[in-house]
Amino acid sequence: MLKQAKIAVMVSGGGTNLQALIDAEANGIIRSGKISLVLSNKSTAYALERAARAGIKTEVVEKRMCSGNAEFEDRIMEVLDREGIDLIVLAGFMCILSERFTAKYAERIINVHPSLIPSFCGEGFYGLHVHEAALAYGVKVSGATVHFVNEIPDGGKIIMQKAVEVKEGDTPETLQRRIMEEAEWKILPLATEAVCQSIVRGESV
């Protein structure tokens, strides 16, 4: 039986959610898994520096260096398989993964989305676009969702959600920050631990 699940965090940008995961592992919130790899599709991603500072192995696979999406995903899968990864956490990874990829790692890929799915999700809803849409609609509550990843953008089974109040005078930027601090950075580590526990025990989530 596994003692700890090996986690790969896939990133494209600054890595604030990665930092929340690194901190959660250091603080004992994530006990059933270990972040073994940080993989980015951008060599300039600041998340890679965060990983290096924490002593975590990094890899870069850039789509522009590949002949197409199939080769891009093949290279990522080669790295994941070589490292013996048990769980993939998408933390601001700005590439849509194909059904071929998600089926290979069924219920082994999780993602955090900055809304309460099924609201403001799916293709085109990422980053500030999500919060712009929520404010335009006039919702009083938004939040974040951690879900399994399948071939449908934001379409996999929900693992955990947390609601966050939308305040008078919010901008997309202020709402984004509050959702990160009050929801994303809390539920992503908790959901990661829950899925790692299930993997270690050989159970389904």
Q: What is the pLDDT of residues 68-117, one digit of tens each?
A: 999 999 999 999 999 999 999 999 999 989 999 999 999 999 999 999 99
Predicted confidence (pLDDT) at residue 170 exceeds the cutoff of 70: yes
For residue 32, the number of C-alpha atoms closer than 13 Å in the C-beta half-sphere is: 18
What contacts 59, CB < 8 A, 6 or more positions away? Answer: 37, 38, 39, 40, 79
Distance of alpha carbon 116 from alpha carbon 153, whole angstroms = 14
Quote the radius of gyration of the chain (alpha carbons, Å): 16
pLDDT digits (tens, 9 = 90+) for 107-159: 999 999 999 999 999 989 999 999 999 999 999 999 999 999 999 999 999 99
Q: Which residues contact 140 (CB under 8 A, 6 or more apart)?
A: 165, 166
For helices 46-53 and 16-26, angle between their N-to-C axes, nearest 10 degrees: 10
| Whether pLDDT at 187 is above 70 | yes
Instruction: Name the band, by pLDDT with cuts 50, 70 and 90, for residue 2.
Output: low
Residue 103 φ then ψ, to 5°: -70, -35
Domains, in order of start, for the chain? 5-201 (3.40.50.170)
Q: What is the pLDDT of residues 7-55, one digit of tens each?
A: 999 999 999 999 999 999 999 999 999 999 999 999 999 999 999 999 9
From 113, 129, 131, 147, active-site residue: 113
pTM for the predicted model, two decimal places: 0.94
Q: Is 113 a catalytic residue?
A: yes
